[in-house]
Amino acid sequence: MEEPCNGSRPKGQFRGRELFRAQRKESEGSVDCPSVEFEYGDVDSFTAELSELFSYTEEPEFALNKRCFEEDFKTQVKGERWTQLNAVQQKAYVMRLLDGLEVVDRDKRLKVARAILYLAQGVFGDCGSESEVLRWSRSNTFLLYEMGTFTAILELLNMEIDNIQACSSALRKPAISLADSTELRVLLSVMYLMVENFRLPAEPDRPEWALAKETFRTELSFPVQTDEPFALLLFTMVTKFCSGHAPHFPMKKVLLLLWKVLLFTLGGFEDLQAMKVKKREGLGLPPLPEDSLQVVRSMRAASPPASALELLEQQQKRGRRVRRPLIKQDSLDLYNERDPFKNDEGAVDEEDNDDADSGIEGEVDPLERDIIPPLVATYPTTERVTFPKGLPWAPKVRERDIEHFLESSRNKFIGFTLGHDTETLVGLPRPIHESVKTLKQYKYVSIADVQIRNEEELESCPVSLGEENVPETPCEVLYRTMLYNLPQYMIALLKILLAAAPTSKAKTDSINILADVLPEEMPITVLDSMRLGIDVNRHKEIIVKSISALLLLLLKHFKLNHIYQFEYVSQHLVFANCIPLILKFFNQNIMSYICAKNSICVLDYPYCTAHDLPELTAESLETGDNSQFCWRNLFSCINLLRALNKLTKWKHSRTMMLVVFKSAPILKRALKVKQAMMQLYVLKLLKIQTKYLGRQWRKSNMKTMSAIYQNVRHRMNDDWAYGNDIDARPWDFQAEECTLRANIESFNSRRYDKNQNWEFAPVDNCLQSVLGQRLELPEDFHYTYELWLEREVFSQPIRWEELLRDE
């Protein structure tokens, strides 16, 4: 039998290895996943955001809305269509509809509300294409707002929220369905369509629309009739639903509307960046070193780290290794250029590069020599992608870091410290001078640092500094109105997020979030059951998307407005177990979640209103759309990771929660999604806990460590890779949270307490003046006045000698 030639492998071994790899790729499915072409933003496309408002079980109601409109329209306008009327005629008809909203009959009000919803949906019966439906929807919503429809709908919404009969009827039912929330769903849909159309950039040829947009934004942010913004009413609906008093509330629509109202009134991520730049200029701080949004968008995804099966195969390789002859330096240089983090598309699969982490260089499995092509042929010069040299982020140094560095240097060289003095360098050697100069070169003072310093000054000198001038921004108004019920709002949002998470198991005591998706009669056929299953999964995904975006938006805006507002929200999220909840969410096959196809494109609005629906089959439902991934699920994952970063950044007690809940393997699995932004926030979360994970973890996860080094911003004297952090003392963790809580309570009391100046009010020492003051007594006091005199005055002995006793 002929021996295999140099470098070839026996056929049996080749097949065994290929079978093992095929099984591994089949079981994981994410090792060789391509880079995800995903562009992160405030929202998805306009049509996608509109389609997510309506469940597939609501599809028959489109025809019902159309019928309600046409029946009323034919009685008012003879022989014409809505699209044929001029502006005066359209306004006159809308006024008649608004009059119909004030009738006593509930059924008649609902028909008029459906006719208004049909107008907001774009009078699709008179349109021939999706673009025409969207154009009329936009035009009609501006017309509806001009005629005062939003205010009328808001009054009806308040009536429905306070409808005790509907609440008690829903509580008595064993199963709640779409029929229990019909009126609420119609009203919320009209509001959502109005907010979403107003949120779009105004057209340049319609200046009256731009003016209406700003008026509407002001109306939602600074309400005139009540003391509360519109968003607070929606927050109240959320808490009422979670408390069990109103289980029929359509939570998906409420959360979508709440998210879009906050996005419209507070601003999105681009607006936040612009406000941040403007605020830094106002505080006299230097400009930002880079635009973080642009840097993240320009980053490229890294190859995922080795999985457990890959490591097992790697160990099997090493068991069969033999010494390899010496390689020329040129070949080694070419090997070093094969960096999987710099060129993922040109690099070979990571299962062939795992040896780089083993610490054994210059050895190759002899069974694989025949499949390693010449290095020059694998990486031709013409196809090599060039990258800018250097790291993507400019390093940052805090004032506190410079103080710690100087404190340790002074203790070492001169034996004493100078407190917070960072200017005096007397007695320190020249290299320390250079180090301090470099640290100060990259010193970064955040807006939060300035706000904390100002707060300390206001606390120490309340009389001399006087009252703080607080700008009346939409964010400030929202926080002030949310303040006293904010813990309940955060708990309610997390309860719904837990119920909608794909990893949550159904429990009898959990809240029912499917009230606005389940039909009155459950499906009988297999096809209808499949359709309902897709609708339920889609419903949960949309809820997760809205809550994740809502939480992130609140955290970012409150942090910019005032750091202690952000810390107050963060602390209540942490107290409500937000950290383990997010980790539980990611403890799943995240690639399957991101690639899920829980959508039926032909049933999406506005497509379903402008086209004849084809016959649905089981095969078409299983196939789904042709997209590479689900935009909303990837958007939700990134939002949750960003929120988790916000909660744990610079908080050692919360970082230890990540370690205690064993988040490292969960987060490492999330790196398999080859999307740069998602990987960046996963790596940030891994970076802050590497010092606690031990040397063995760092040694066996060198690719992850390398990815952290290449993608995450550096702090000059942060030894995250070695575990020598002076702030990592576990006995300080509880004190850290208690100090933060005391600072937050002091801030809230000083700025928002109505009786905040009672300590500094002047004291009246004149007896006649004090006795002459008129006191407000209870109405029933005169009924018990004699009893009070007997108990408090006559029955009490008067000890005159007490007056003569020397103090």
Q: Of the ranges 215-224, 369-378, 488-497, which is most confident? A: 488-497
Q: Output 54 or 619, whichever has higher pLDDT.
A: 54
pLDDT beyond 90 at 119: yes
**From CA 544, how far away is CA 556, in angstroms rounded?**
18
Whole-number pLDDT of residue 281 = 95
| Contact status, residue 96 vs residue 169, Cβ threshold 8 Å | no
**From CA 157, how far away is CA 162, in angstroms rounded?**
9
Q: Of the ranges 3-12, 15-24, 146-155, 522-531, which is most confident? A: 146-155
User: What are 715's strand-pairing partners?
Assistant: 396
| Contact status, residue 255 vs residue 496, Cβ threshold 8 Å | yes
Burial status of residue 254 (CB atoms within 10 A of its CB: 0-12, 13-18, 19 or more): buried
Model confidence at 368, in pLDDT bands (50, 70, 90)? very low
| Contact status, residue 712 vs residue 394, Cβ threshold 8 Å | no
For 577: left if phi > 0, alpha if psi spans -120 to 50, otherwise beta; the answer is left
Model confidence at 318, in pLDDT bands (50, 70, 90)? low
Provide the Cα torsion 722, 727, 729, 732; round to 10°: -160
**From CA 159, how far away is CA 616, in angstroms rounded?**
40
Q: Of the ranges 39-48, 509-518, 769-778, 797-806, which is most confident? A: 39-48
**From CA 485, how far away is CA 695, in angstroms rounded?**
45
Quickly list DSSP for 345-356.
TTSPPGGGTGGG
pLDDT tens figures, 449-471: 999 999 999 988 877 777 788 99
pLDDT beyond 70 at 344: no
Burial status of residue 44 (CB atoms within 10 A of its CB: 0-12, 13-18, 19 or more): middle
pLDDT beyond 80 at 343: no
Kindly report the number of other CB atoms within 10 A of residue 491's CB atom: 17
pLDDT tens figures, 68-117: 999 999 988 887 899 999 999 999 999 999 999 999 899 999 999 999 99
**From CA 367, how far away is CA 10, in angstroms rounded?**
8
pLDDT beyond 70 at 313: no
Instruction: Supply the angle between the helices 563-575 and 447-460 in degrees, to the nearest 10.
Output: 100
pLDDT beyond 90 at 568: yes
Mean pLDDT to the nearest integer, 538-567: 97
| Contact status, residue 667 vs residue 586, Cβ threshold 8 Å | yes
User: What are 397's strand-pairing partners?
Assistant: 443
Instruction: Supply the angle between the helices 652-660 and 578-586 in degrees, to the nearest 10.
Output: 40
Q: Give the torsion sign (CA, 217, 221, 224, 230).
A: positive
The b/e string for 599-614 (b: 16+ C-beta within 10 A; e otherwise) is bbeebbbbebbbeeee
pLDDT beyond 50 at 48: yes
Burial status of residue 378 (CB atoms within 10 A of its CB: 0-12, 13-18, 19 or more): middle
Lowest-confidence range among 144-153, 372-381, 793-802? 372-381
Lowest-confidence range among 70-74, 275-279, 500-504, 798-802? 798-802
Percentage helix, strand, coil for the chain under 3-state DSSP, each rounded to 5: 65, 0, 35
Lowest-confidence range among 27-31, 57-61, 285-289? 27-31
| Contact status, residue 178 vs residue 111, Cβ threshold 8 Å | no
Whole-number pLDDT of residue 613 = 83
| Contact status, residue 733 vs residue 656, Cβ threshold 8 Å | yes
pLDDT beyond 60 at 437: yes
- Using alpha carbons, select from 608, 538, 612 the residue that is nearest to residue 122: 608
Whole-number pLDDT of residue 150 = 95
Among residues of the chain, what percentage have pLDDT more than 90? 56
User: What are 443's strand-pairing partners?
Assistant: 397
Whole-number pLDDT of residue 15 = 43
Q: Of the ranges 38-47, 333-342, 368-377, 753-762, which is most confident? A: 38-47
For 246: left if phi > 0, alpha if psi spans -120 to 50, otherwise beta; the answer is beta
**From CA 535, how far away is CA 600, in angstroms rounded?**
9
**From CA 510, how far away is CA 241, in angstroms rounded?**
12
- Using alpha carbons, select from 87, 187, 102 the residue that is nearest to residue 142: 87
The SS3 of residue 397 is strand
Lowest-confidence range among 191-205, 243-257, 381-395, 413-427? 381-395
Extract the tokens encoding 682.
């996963």
**From CA 343, how far away is CA 703, in angstroms rounded?**
14
Whole-number pLDDT of residue 742 = 94
**From CA 701, how far away is CA 311, in angstroms rounded?**
11
Long-range contacts of 389-392 (CB under 8 A, 24+ apart): 391/710, 391/714, 392/295, 392/298, 392/299, 392/711
Q: Give the torsion sign (CA, 505, 510, 513, 518).
A: positive
Among residues of the chain, what percentage have pLDDT more than 70? 81
The SS3 of residue 443 is strand
One-letter identity of residue 102:
E
**From CA 219, how far away is CA 225, in angstroms rounded?**
10
Burial status of residue 38 (CB atoms within 10 A of its CB: 0-12, 13-18, 19 or more): buried
Whole-number pLDDT of residue 745 = 94
**From CA 30, how far away is CA 34, in angstroms rounded?**
9
- Using alpha carbons, select from 285, 293, 570, 555 the residue that is nearest to residue 446: 285
pLDDT beyond 60 at 474: yes
Whole-number pLDDT of residue 511 = 87
Mean pLDDT to the nearest integer, 754-761: 60
Long-range contacts of 619-622 (CB under 8 A, 24+ apart): 621/527, 621/530, 621/531, 621/534, 622/530
**From CA 24, how far away is CA 312, in angstroms rounded?**
11
pLDDT beyond 90 at 197: yes
One-letter identity of residue 328:
K
Residue with tokens 């949270």: 737
Q: Output 308 or 142, whichever has higher pLDDT.
A: 142
| Contact status, residue 35 vs residue 675, Cβ threshold 8 Å | yes
**From CA 566, how far away is CA 560, in angstroms rounded?**
8
pLDDT tens figures, 622-678: 766 778 899 999 999 999 999 999 999 999 889 999 999 999 999 999 999 999 999
| Contact status, residue 291 vs residue 91, Cβ threshold 8 Å | no
The residue count for the chain: 807
User: What are 396's strand-pairing partners?
Assistant: 715
Residue with tokens 């997510």: 52
Whole-number pLDDT of residue 796 = 79
- Using alpha carbons, select from 108, 131, 122 the residue that is nearest to residue 194: 122
What φ, ψ does residue 630 adopt, rounded to 5°?
-95, 115
**From CA 492, how far away is CA 551, in angstroms rounded?**
12
Model confidence at 306, in pLDDT bands (50, 70, 90)? low
Q: Output 757 or 59, whichever has higher pLDDT.
A: 59
One-letter identity of residue 1:
M
The SS3 of residue 90 is helix
Is the preceding peptide bond at 606 cis, omega within 30 degrees of 0?
Answer: yes
Whole-number pLDDT of residue 778 = 74
Whole-number pLDDT of residue 756 = 56
Instruction: State the average pLDDT for the chain.
Output: 83
**From CA 159, how far away is CA 238, in angstroms rounded?**
16
Q: Output 619 or 675, whichever has higher pLDDT.
A: 675
Model confidence at 612, in pLDDT bands (50, 70, 90)? confident
The SS3 of residue 728 is coil
pLDDT beyond 70 at 379: no
Quickly list DSSP for 296-341.
HHH--PPPPPP-HHHHHHHHHHHHT--------HHHHHHHHT--TT
| Contact status, residue 511 vs residue 499, Cβ threshold 8 Å | yes
Whole-number pLDDT of residue 520 = 87
What φ, ψ does residue 443 adopt, rounded to 5°?
-65, 135
**From CA 534, how far away is CA 532, in angstroms rounded?**
5
Mean pLDDT to the nearest integer, 12-27: 42
Contacts of 332 (CB under 8 A, 6+ apart): 362
Model confidence at 753, in pLDDT bands (50, 70, 90)? confident
Whole-number pLDDT of residue 758 = 54
pLDDT beyond 90 at 482: yes
